[in-house]
Amino acid sequence: MKVLVTGGSGRLGTAVVDGLLGSGHEVVSVDRRPPARHREQWFAADLTVADEANWALSRVRPDAVVQLAAIAVPFSRPEAEILRTNTALAFNVCRSALEAGAGTVVVASSPTVVGYGAPAGWVPSYLPIDEAHPVRPWHAYGLSKLVAEQVVRMFTAQAGDRMRLSAVRPCYVIGADEWAGAPTQQGHTVRERLDDPSLAAGSLFNYVDARDAADLIGLLLHGAHEIPNGETFFAGAADALAREPLAELLPRFHPGTAAAAPTLVDDAPAFSPARAERLLGWKPRRTWRTELR
């Protein structure tokens, strides 16, 4: 398969490019900035510009597209810019993919669509959270990812079986360098997030190994024709990034979870990976207990 990965120079994109190359696919990465490795596979484009997205997709004519390009950190840029950028990226890439005849598209969303951490309070309908849980984003990043999911649905309705689309909500992505001590997305190391629960509490102690998330995306590229079109999947580790059960930790940092949290005993995570396992046979294989060095 020829796969075009947008945002291939990023934290998750690096693992996705590695994983796809390792599986024998032809990979082209499109990103505004160059990657640390596989530079010969990359070219630059600003995909928020519709003409550049069209040019990139028609130049490559891929069989499949993995849309990861985004401003990936909430509040890292002005709110209006995050909303404008991320929604334009999702829309332009899906639209250009359809026009270029791509058969499969996977779009990165985010668990933040659920709305945890809202300043006005957040009460989950139940825990662990699965794909049926209501969504209520409270910042531009979460909203932009909800729009990206709706973009997936819109093109599913428009393209029908001409193009298979899905959305993935990766939990807090941890790459190989970060297991070895490099700072994670929010600036602290994995060990610091474990030692001080207040650091991982903001994301409900969720995480996923970048290679596991890349494996799920690989499965979606292969299996898209065997599952309903336009599906959404959480990609989270099978355990929580915590040394205490979330039944105790969550209500300490998110009082609104007190009623639902008792289900999260032992090392149970706040987000369920069950749907991806059921529909695609995906199992997150890495945990902080085996990967942290």
Q: Interface with ligand NAD by CB under 6 A: which residues? A: 7, 9-13, 31-33, 46-48, 68-70, 72, 89, 108, 110, 170, 172-173, 185
Smallest gap from Cβ 262 to ligand NAD, in A, equals 27
CB 30 within 8 A of CB 42: yes
- Asked if residue 77 lies in contact with residue 188, where contact means CB atoms within 8 angstroms, the answer is no
Of residues 7 and 115, the one with the C-beta less far from ligand NAD: 7
Q: How far is the CB of 70 from ligand NAD (least distance, A)?
A: 3
Q: How far is the CB of 89 from ligand NAD (least distance, A)?
A: 6
CA-nearest of 219, 239, 238, 206 to 279 is 219
In whole angstroms, how close is the CB of 230 to ligand NAD at the nearest point? Answer: 18
Cis peptide before 119 (omega within 30 of 0): no
Comparison of 171 and 249: residue with beta carbon closer to ligand NAD: 171
152: helix, strand or coil: helix
The backbone torsions φ and ψ at residue 123, rounded to the nearest 5 degrees and listed phi first, read: -125, 115
At position 42, the amino acid (one-letter code) is: W
The answer to whether 19 and 32 have CB atoms below 8 angstroms apart is no
Nearer to ligand NAD, 87 or 156 (CB): 87
4 DSSP 8-state letter: E
Distance of alpha carbon 202 from alpha carbon 165, whole angstroms: 30
The least CB distance from residue 263 to ligand NAD, in Å, is 23
Q: How far apart are CA 54 and CA 160, in angstroms?
A: 21
Which residue is closest to ligand NAD by CB? 10
Active-site positions?
Answer: 141
How is residue 245 annotated by DSSP? -
For ligand NAD, which is the closer residue by CB, 104 or 112? 112
238-256 in b/e form (b: 16+ CB < 10 A) is bbbbbeebbbebbbeebee
Which residue, 48 or 104, has its beta carbon nearer to ligand NAD? 48
Of 90, 140, 142, 72, nearest to 112 (Cα)? Answer: 142
